[in-house]
Structure 1
Amino acid sequence: MRLKSLGKYDTELFYRLNRLTAERQCRHVLWMSRTGDGYLYLIIGILLWAFEREHGELFLYTALMAYALELPVYLVLKNMVKRPRPCDLLSNMFVHITPSDKFSLPSGHTAAAWLMACIVGYFYPDFAVLAYSWALLIGMSRILLGVHYPSDVLAGMALGLTIASLSIWLLG
């Protein structure tokens, strides 16, 4: 009974947030989501490794290890839970992109964004608020675009923060 209630609230919140994008092109939301595709993380890591002598190298190694740990855990969870995406299950919603796979839990974009935000926040505390705000917007964009429920985003956030913290503990 309790799990059904959580699912009901999750779906209701999804609809409320997703309706904010009704009949809009959502270019800014799509752009925000695309900053979480992964290329930006690699560019940031390489630039810090090349130009920032104090923490750049350790930052890069920590991020590489974190992503190497996060990706298999993400894939196992996604294929174990097999939760259908809202765009494949619900009606009367707005879908603005075609998802890369068919399952929604956890949100990989959100996991990667929170992982990076946590590592940035650890090594460069002056940029923590910016990094965490950006990660929050990545997660929100996935709901607004119609490909994730709020609980998928929360699961992605938890996964990213957990793996980042483990990697920082091991290498940082």
Structure 2
Amino acid sequence: MITTITELDQNILLWIQEYLRTPVLTKIMQMITVLGDNAIIWTLIGFGLVFYAKYRRVGFVVNLSVMLEMFVVNQFLKNIFARTRPFVAMEELEHLTRAPHSYSFPSGHTASSFAAAMVLFLMLPRKYGISALCLAALIGFSRIYLGVHYLTDVLAGMALGMGIAYISVYAGKKIPE
């Protein structure tokens, strides 16, 4: 019987390793996770939008949300919680991407992805925002699939990213046209 969140987190990772991993899906997840490295895809989208007058504010807000996320999550929260990565804590778990050197909780890839994607969802036509949120969810799942984050790391990153997005959108209303 599962008695703690940590046990549930570990069982989920082991189940994915046992029943979901395939060579093809692993290659796909490795490509998806790279999109979230250093929030590069979101930063490029933000900078790209800045060059179009109609979407300039959106671009600034996307980049603001990514910068806030990097400060709050990567520089502050990860060091407070200092949660060990699952592949370090679980010798039976094989990680399938390069080993991150930062702490596990919360997921920075997921937080930056949801921070930027939620801004796009709130400020652009829904078809673009929904696509961005789907990509953010895939990036978050890739971190679990590849064995570098627990489910709770990703869920916390998602919640934090969405909260940062709302703060950024509110602050973005103060940016002159």
TM-score scaled by structure 1? 0.89
The amino acid that maps onto 2:108 is: G
Identify the residue that residue 31 of structure 1 maps to in structure 2. 31
CA RMSD of aligned residues (A): 1.7
Give distance in 1, aligned partners of 2:59 and 2:158: 21
* Correspondence 1:1-150 to 2 at 5 A: 5-19=4-18, 20-21=20-21, 24=23, 26-37=26-37, 38-51=39-52, 53-54=53-54, 56-74=55-73, 75-124=75-124, 125-150=126-151
Equivalent pair of 1:29/1:145 in contact (CA under 8 Å): yes
The amino acid that maps onto 1:11 is: Q
SS at structure 2 position matched to 1:21: coil
Give distance in 2, aligned partners of 1:11 and 1:100: 18
Find runs of 4+ consecutive structure 1 residues off by over 3 angstroms: none
Structure 2 runs not aligned, ≥5 long: none
Structure 1 runs not aligned, ≥5 long: none
Give distance in 2, aligned partners of 1:86 and 1:97: 13
Equivalent pair of 2:115/2:165 in contact (CA under 8 Å): yes
Equivalent pair of 1:21/1:94 in contact (CA under 8 Å): no
TM-score scaled by structure 2? 0.87
